[in-house]
Amino acid sequence: MVSQKVFASWLLLNNKGQVTGKIELHESGVLMMVKSVRASVHHFNNPPGWATDTKHLSRLRALAADSGTPDPFVRLDVRDNYVSRTMFARLSQFDRFGRAMEHGHGHQTVLADRYWQGEAPQGMMI
């Protein structure tokens, strides 16, 4: 995987005004939302999957339309104790298979584990 220079980025804030991630537009044209999360806190068990703020997905969708990016990525950098991994999903997967939830942290969209990839999709340079 080759690193690409970030052309532009936008911070993502939660309901408390805390930075929870960012959206990056790379020189190569790759647009992705990037979030660092702790599995013990951010992984849902029922349904088993990962959630993100629905408003962040809406922002990613709007930036994709503005930049002409057909199907941007969501990247999770998962950190827990001695474990770290990176997972990828496409915005279109959230649109097709995401499940709306509300657990006191604002509107979230959960994408089941089976839709996340452990490696960057083929041909993606980040």
Over residues 19-78, the pLDDT tens digits come to 999 999 887 788 999 999 888 878 888 889 998 999 999 999 999 998 888 889 999 998
23 vs 10: CA distance, rounded Å: 5
**Integer Cα distance of 93 and 99 in angstroms:** 11
Assigned fold of 6-115: Trna Endonuclease; Chain: A, domain 1 (3.40.1350)
More confident residue, 27 or 117: 117
53 vs 121, higher pLDDT: 53
Q: Decide if pLDDT at 119 tops 50.
A: yes
The backbone torsions φ and ψ at residue 37, rounded to the nearest 5 degrees and listed phi first, read -135, 160
Render pLDDT for 71-83 as a digit per residue (tens, 0 to 9): 899 999 988 777 7
Domain boundaries, the chain: 6-115
Pick 126 or 17 by higher pLDDT. Answer: 17
